[in-house]
Amino acid sequence: MCLVSILLEFGYMREGKKKNKRIKISKRAKLNELRFYHLKAKKKMTSPNPEVRFRYKLEKAKRKEAWLIEMLRKFEVPKAPAETYDPEILTGEERHYFKRTGEKKKRNYVPVGRRGVFGGVVLNMHLHWKKHETVKVICKPCKPGQVHVYAEELAGLSKEILIDIKANNVILFYRGKNYVQPKVMSPPDTLSKDKGLEKYKYKQSLEHTSQFIEKLEEELEEYQKHLARYKKAKEDTPKDSVIDT
């Protein structure tokens, strides 16, 4: 009896496993489902009611915004614990001298483009510091106030001295009197060149999507106000008196 019960239980478990298996959908069923959603979306897009069209576009844009935020989270690099270092103190004369020296050297610069600050930027700074005491970091394109964020980030990654931030989005750095080139010139807690470009594309798309959502919300609000005014005007108009014949 014991053996029979074990066999029955084993058979029951196998049946249960079979039931839990994912049901495969045929290619035709998938196509029919996609066709159904496509027709449903088309119906909303071509709806004579403007509110239905606005709400469909808004819902679609918000889904895209949530997806882009989720994709950008993948590019968040865990920051390494900050190393303690003693920054050198420069006198006013020294700061002025290095500022003038950095401005004169036109070829001694590192560009920061649409990728932003990534490992290659810090690497190029250290390569310039092999032969020069100062280096210029040119930020183009750069939004208002973004140059200060770049300056703080680069100062923390390179562990060197920020001399000046120019009005034309140019940052001047000094390598320091006791400068020693690190073994790893590209910090591990930064993105690569390809990842930096990919992040920029998602960021740009998110910015445009957010602006589109704001525009749609404003249009929907204006339409609802217009409807409310129209209903109120319709209610306020007196009904025509019926003339008895």
Residues 226, 222: Cα–Cα separation, whole Å: 6
Choice between 12 and 180, residue whose per-residue pLDDT is larger: 180
Q: What is the pLDDT of residues 213-245, one digit of tens each?
A: 999 999 999 989 988 888 888 877 765 544 444
* Two structure tokens written together for 223: 């339409």
* Two structure tokens written together for 95: 């700061």
At 135 the three-state DSSP class reads: strand
Q: Has residue 83 got a pLDDT over 80?
A: no
pLDDT of residue 80: 66
DSSP codes, 45-75:
HT-S-HHHHHHHHHHHHHHHHHHHHHHHHTT
Amino acid at 223: Y
- pTM over the 0.85 mark: no
The domain 92-190: what is its CATH number?
3.30.110.60
Choice between 28 and 116, residue whose per-residue pLDDT is larger: 116
Domains in the chain: boundaries: 44-77+192-218, 92-190
Where does the pLDDT of residue 36 fall: very low under 50, low under 70, confident under 90, or very high at 90 and above? confident
